[in-house]
Homo-oligomer: A and B are copies of this chain.
Amino acid sequence: MKRMPARPDNVHQATLLRLLRDGGRSRAELGDDVALSRSKLNLELDRLIETGLVEPAGLAASRGGRRSGMVRLSPQIRFACIDIGATSVDVAVTNGELEILGHMSEPSEVREGPAVVLGRAMDLLGKLREQGLYTQLHGAGIGVPGPVSFREGVPFAPPIMPGWDRYPVKEAVSQELGCPAMVDNDVNLMALGELHAGLARQVDDFLLIKIGTGVGCGIVIDGKIYRGVSGSAGDIGHMRVDDQGPVCTCGNTGCLEAYFSGAALAREAVRIAPRSPYLAERIALGMRPTAQDVAVAATMGDPAALQLIRDGGRHVGQVLAGLVSFFNPGLVIIAGGVARLGHVLLAEIRSVVYRRSLPLATGNLPIVLSELGDTAGVIGGARLISDHVFSAA
């Protein structure tokens, strides 16, 4: 196992590193943001420079007196992100400021198990290393499409991830890459990505609804992910729409996911194909229609496909309306593959929420589509692990 990279010694150094994560600045500017004497601030910065995490970067413009020295995170800092989806794996490498230096994505079935999927992620990371994007990593953030016991860094009874239950993902990746690692649910990662670089940058309390193969929700309270007492908070895919609906994989009827998700859309696509020339053609060509095909059909103005999306939006809206009344968030972001069905979906969700939620809760509530797309998860992974690495050891 390789030597672990440096970590801050104390909470002041950790605060300085997190401030520098948002960009290099002068010692004087840092002094404005932390409650430290000038001598103590300089002492801590000098210690961080000794560890190699921070480096001097010339002189700042004068603010009236002597010019202050600029500092920034070492350009050598590298974080890896592994975002494992139900049917894909994304890996990326960022610098200390969480800018993506390289990003690769491949189709990958999570049900093939941890050895295969993590092996593929390591291969992709190896390619990024061969491109010269990193030599040593300072940490790795990992997302998986299921519930996670956050402290141990292991998936916990994940329904769509056979073979992953309690698999030591955090430990395995940490050993393999020789750096600290953290594992979280993929939806929480997306919420962290939005908090760091997306529409939620200025918002303390928000919900991110991911509609992909399944449906999940990331909950941010006071700028931090809320995980609940056993780490399953936000698992809304099996919230009840009604009792008469389709049977769900969980055994209940009328769950949100049974009504609307990538999987449900693909199933419904077959059902409406007789009324949809585009979907009928796909099937005639021997292809199994997907949620993406429904989106294409809708874009072509196909009424049956449009109706499917509207119905889905209504069901998401019915569940979300209750959550908005309950949680009174400052922002709702809709994300995930199915969210790319776009404004027809958004309009329907908005219409139900604004009609059914408490007026006090919706008065100033924006409901928006994510603008980060596929990068939300990997930026969130970098944010997760950098929050950990940039904290006092």
Judged by a CB distance under 8 angstroms, whether A107 is at the interface is: no
Using an 8 Å CB-CB cutoff, how does the interface string of A8-33 with B read, 1 for contact, 0 for none? Answer: 00000000000000000000000000
Indicate which residue in B205, B235, B242 contacts A360 across the interface (CB closer than 8 Å): B235
Judged by a CB distance under 8 angstroms, whether A236 is at the interface is: yes
Judged by a CB distance under 8 angstroms, whether A340 is at the interface is: no
Top 10 A-B pairs ranked by shortest CB distance? A228-B328, A233-B328, A239-B322, A232-B360, A229-B330, A232-B328, A232-B361, A235-B358, A242-B242, A147-B360
Q: Complex formed: what's the CA distance from A361 to B234 in Å?
A: 10
**When A232-B325, A326-B233 are in contact, do A358 and B238 touch as well, CB less than 8 Å?**
yes
Name the CB-closest residue of B to A221.
B221
A361 surroundings in chain B (CB, below 8 A)? 228, 230, 232-233, 235
The reply to whether B156 and A236 form a contact with Cβ atoms under 8 Å apart is no
The reply to whether B157 and A359 form a contact with Cβ atoms under 8 Å apart is yes
Judged by a CB distance under 8 angstroms, whether A249 is at the interface is: no
Judged by a CB distance under 8 angstroms, whether A377 is at the interface is: no
Using an 8 Å CB-CB cutoff, how does the interface string of A226-257 with B read, 1 for contact, 0 for none? Answer: 11111111111011101100000000100000
Indicate which residue in B227, B242, B243, B323 contacts A328 across the interface (CB closer than 8 Å): B227
Judged by a CB distance under 8 angstroms, whether A103 is at the interface is: no
A321 surroundings in chain B (CB, below 8 A)? 239-240
Judged by a CB distance under 8 angstroms, whether A385 is at the interface is: no
The reply to whether B326 and A236 form a contact with Cβ atoms under 8 Å apart is yes
A288 → chain B closest CB, angstroms: 29
Q: Complex formed: what's the CA distance from A356 to B238 in Å?
A: 8
Central interface residue in A156, A227, A235, A322, by most chain B CB within 10 Å = A322
Q: Complex formed: what's the CA distance from A355 to B329 in Å?
A: 28
Q: Complex formed: what's the CA distance from A173 to B78 in Å?
A: 58
A320 → chain B closest CB, angstroms: 11
The reply to whether A230 and B328 form a contact with Cβ atoms under 8 Å apart is yes
